[in-house]
Structure 1
Amino acid sequence: MRAPLIEKAKFEAGATDFVVRLAFLGLFAWWSLELVRPFVPIVIWAILLAVALYPAHAWLARLLGGRRSLAATVITLIALATVLGPVSILAASLAESIQWLASGLGSGALKLPPPPAAIEDLPILGEQIDEAWTLAAGNLEDAVLRYGPAVLPTGGAVLGKVAAIGADVLKFVVSVIIAGFLFVPGPRLATGIRAFASRLIAPRGAHFVDLAGATIRNVSRGVIGVALLQALLAGAILYLAGIPGSGLVAFAVLLLCIVQIGAAPVLLPLIVWIWMSHPTTFSLVLTLLLVPVGLIDNVLKPILMARGLTTPMLVILTGVIGGTLTHGLVGLFLGPVVLSVFYELVVAWTRLGQGPTETPIDGAPPPAAPGAP
């Protein structure tokens, strides 16, 4: 009788000891996460930058005779020059544009032209858009009072994040510097991550890691990179031409290009306004400069993206809005990339066992089975 009681007491003591240890471990894990939480978006964005730019680093290292540290330094300096130069100017212009828009709305000096007659004939939302535009052209204050309650909750949150642009640019700088330190140990880190993923999700863990890397490169270069290039070019052209609200226009171009709508909904009305309010020669020059900016993605995306983007627009749009509301300007780029990677991994995981082939990575055919020709 005593033996079972002794065994029961030992089991209870062991279980209690395990629970206490687990509680302390969970406490320290939670505490550690709380300490590093402010830096998580910066570190994640640095990792995404390193993965996206690593092919360029490898190419430059071969060009420099295998000097990988020098190649990492050059790419880091170029990325820092981009952030501290055009991106900072665009961010400052965006802040000025928001201030100009707010002052114009407050003073009543901001006026909108009447809507074109073709707007009303548009399917589905034509009449509603024409009604709202006509009201705003006649009395902007009434339009704000009527449509403001539906727009201001989200708009206020977005504007609050935009107001912290200076801190977001600093986060970009820190992320670029961290990414620069990840280039040299990149192959060793990738090997370790593949090994860990293989143990965690055997036997296709390494395949999932490769798929995540391919998705990061596709979205960051073919979507984020091209959208940022279009926004920077549009903002620079409008800023140098003295067009008011150039930063706001560039930000709208960036958003629309990231969600795969394109720059046309912003640039075409702007070009029409320029022709209506500026001299012919000035308008012609700006048109010849802005039209290629709106079409450049049709040329660059097939070059930069190794395979077609399969992520739905809704996933990218959710990443843009959620990332911006959660992490500000950094989240604008971070959100769609992270959600796209998660979506691709979930899709690949759900397709396991449906066929012998795996999802191709970077456009490469599935690996042949052992012994296959």
Structure 2
Amino acid sequence: CSASHHKTAVTVGIPLVAPFAIIAIWAGILAVALYPVFRALSALFGGRPRLAAAAITLLALLVIAGPLAAIALSFAEAVQAGLGKLAAGTLSVPAPPDAVRDWPLIGHRLHDAWAQASGNLEATLQRLAPSLLQAGGTVLGKIAGIGVDLIGFIVSVIIAGFLFRPGPRLGEGLKLFARRVAGERGAGFVDLAAATIRNVARGVIGVALLQALLAGLAFSLFGIPAASVLAFAVLIFCIMQIGPAPVLLPVVVWAWTAMETRAALGLTLVLVLIGLIDNVLKPVLVARGLKTPMLVILAGVIGGTLSYGLIGLFLGPIVLGVFYDLVVAWMRSAPGQEDGTRPV
């Protein structure tokens, strides 16, 4: 009977603890990724680590959590507004520009489908109703969880601020535990995991956030419709390592068909510069280059987002990247080799 009660308590407790565990893991990843910045700020502030930790926490809330919250909430509002218009029957689709026909491969089919939707949206929706209902339920569920995810993201940033000062002690304790489990190879795996976290967090997540924020600002300044939705799409494509081109190129094409020449030229130049950011920053931010394959990052993005929502969008590629690098390092190490942490 006691064993049954123990099993029931564990079964009930795991779902209750799981959200807090995700927040704690993300806080630890943020602390590892930003620790070099904390160390540099501590030296700049004359050896005052508390001030450095407070400064990084406030900066992260302003630069990361604030704009991300704005993009996510605007995205949710835009989707909800679109669904509201769809339910009320007031949603309309503008006629496609003739230039769409000239697009390679998909131009004619896309123009015909677009024209059909603009001419008779109701019939198009009826034809796509089963797929739309299935996708709509998933989208509404994710939108409902965006607020909770944002709170968890902000809490993670705050918790990370308290982990900077004891960071070295925590790292040594983790190394000691790993050394007890797997010898010097285990301690080396801890160093490899930390390096992978910094590479993926700065070279993938950091650059993607910067490109999405700049793209959202450019969309808003030039009056592009659904700017927040497009910025969120830029964020997802950049984290997937596909790049912002699938979003920026259609916006540029639309700008040249719907805007004045000077405004379209200005927007094009700005978006080209935003698209080239990763080519400039990644070699600077990623130590020895990012070795994690794109498919691993993509699988982490999809799996993390489906499992844990907004936090999973960032957490998934980092955790899966660490797991991949550790497995590769372990497989490449000889059975009798003490240190199996050769760079991969």
Partner in structure 2 of residue 72 of structure 1: 53
Partner in structure 2 of residue 319 of structure 1: 300
Partner in structure 1 of residue 280 of structure 2: 299
Work out the CA distance in 1 between the residues paired with 2:108 and 2:324. Answer: 37
Work out the CA distance in 1 between the residues paired with 2:211 and 2:77. Answer: 20
Work out the CA distance in 1 between the residues paired with 2:245 and 2:63. Answer: 25
Residues 47-58 of structure 1: matches in 2 within 5 Å? 47-58=28-39
Say yes or no: does 1:351 pair with 2:332: yes
Contact 2:204 2:238 in 1 (8 A): yes
1:196/1:89 CA distance change after superposition, 3 Å: same
Say yes or no: does 1:223 pair with 2:207: no
Which consecutive unaligned segments of at least 5 residues does structure 2 have? Answer: none
Query: Which AA in structure 1 matches 2:280?
Result: V
Partner in structure 1 of residue 240 of structure 2: 259
1:152/1:260 CA distance change after superposition, 3 Å: farther
Higher CA-based Rg: 1
- Of the structure 1 ranges 291-300 and 146-155, higher mean CA displacement relative to structure 2 is found in 146-155
- Of the structure 1 ranges 58-67 and 159-168, higher mean CA displacement relative to structure 2 is found in 159-168
1:33/1:96 CA distance change after superposition, 3 Å: closer
Query: Which AA in structure 2 matches 1:113?
Result: P
1:83/1:66 CA distance change after superposition, 3 Å: same
Work out the CA distance in 2 between the residues paired with 1:194 and 1:217. Answer: 17
1:21/1:188 CA distance change after superposition, 3 Å: farther
SS across alignment from 2:184: coil
1:355/1:225 CA distance change after superposition, 3 Å: farther
SS across alignment from 1:107: coil
Work out the CA distance in 1 between the residues paired with 2:3 and 2:329. Answer: 33
Partner in structure 2 of residue 174 of structure 1: 155
How far 1:266 sits from its partner (Å)?
0.6
Once the two structures are aligned, what percentage of the paired residues are identical? Answer: 55
Contact 2:100 2:110 in 1 (8 A): no
Query: Which AA in structure 2 matches 1:137?
Result: A
Question: For 1:166-186, what per-residue CA distance to the aligned partner results, in whole angstroms no more than 9, with x for missing partners?
Answer: 222211110001000000000
Query: Which AA in structure 1 matches 2:116?
Result: G
- Aligned Cα root-mean-square deviation (Å): 2.7
- Of the structure 1 ranges 246-255 and 275-284, higher mean CA displacement relative to structure 2 is found in 275-284
Question: Which of 81, 93, 116 pairs up with 2:100?
Answer: 116
Say yes or no: does 1:284 pair with 2:270: no
Question: For 1:297-329, what per-residue CA distance to the aligned partner results, in whole angstroms no more than 9, with x for missing partners?
Answer: 110111100022222222222221221122111
Query: Which AA in structure 2 matches 1:138?
Result: Q
How far 1:335 sits from its partner (Å)?
1.0
Question: For 1:68-127, what per-residue CA distance to the aligned partner results, in whole angstroms no more than 9, with x for missing partners?
Answer: 1111111011011124532222123212321343345552412352573454x43xxx4x
SS across alignment from 1:308: coil
How far 1:164 sits from its partner (Å)?
2.7
Contact 2:205 2:239 in 1 (8 A): yes
Contact 1:323 1:335 in 2 (8 A): yes
Contact 1:168 1:330 in 2 (8 A): yes
SS across alignment from 1:203: helix
How far 1:163 sits from its partner (Å)?
3.4
1:133/1:160 CA distance change after superposition, 3 Å: farther
How far 1:349 sits from its partner (Å)?
1.5
How far 1:32 sits from its partner (Å)?
5.1
1:72/1:312 CA distance change after superposition, 3 Å: same
Give the TM-score taking structure 2 as reference length: 0.87
Which consecutive unaligned segments of at least 5 residues does structure 1 have? Answer: 1-19, 364-373
How far 1:248 sits from its partner (Å)?
0.7
SS across alignment from 1:273: helix
Partner in structure 2 of residue 194 of structure 1: 175
1:291/1:211 CA distance change after superposition, 3 Å: same
Work out the CA distance in 2 between the residues paired with 1:156 and 1:173. Answer: 27
Partner in structure 2 of residue 90 of structure 1: 71
1:138/1:75 CA distance change after superposition, 3 Å: same
1:207/1:235 CA distance change after superposition, 3 Å: same
How far 1:277 sits from its partner (Å)?
1.0
Work out the CA distance in 2 between the residues paired with 1:351 and 1:244. Answer: 50
Work out the CA distance in 1 between the residues paired with 2:102 and 2:319. Answer: 40
- Of the structure 1 ranges 103-112 and 180-189, higher mean CA displacement relative to structure 2 is found in 103-112
Work out the CA distance in 2 between the residues paired with 1:29 and 1:302. Answer: 46
Contact 2:27 2:159 in 1 (8 A): yes
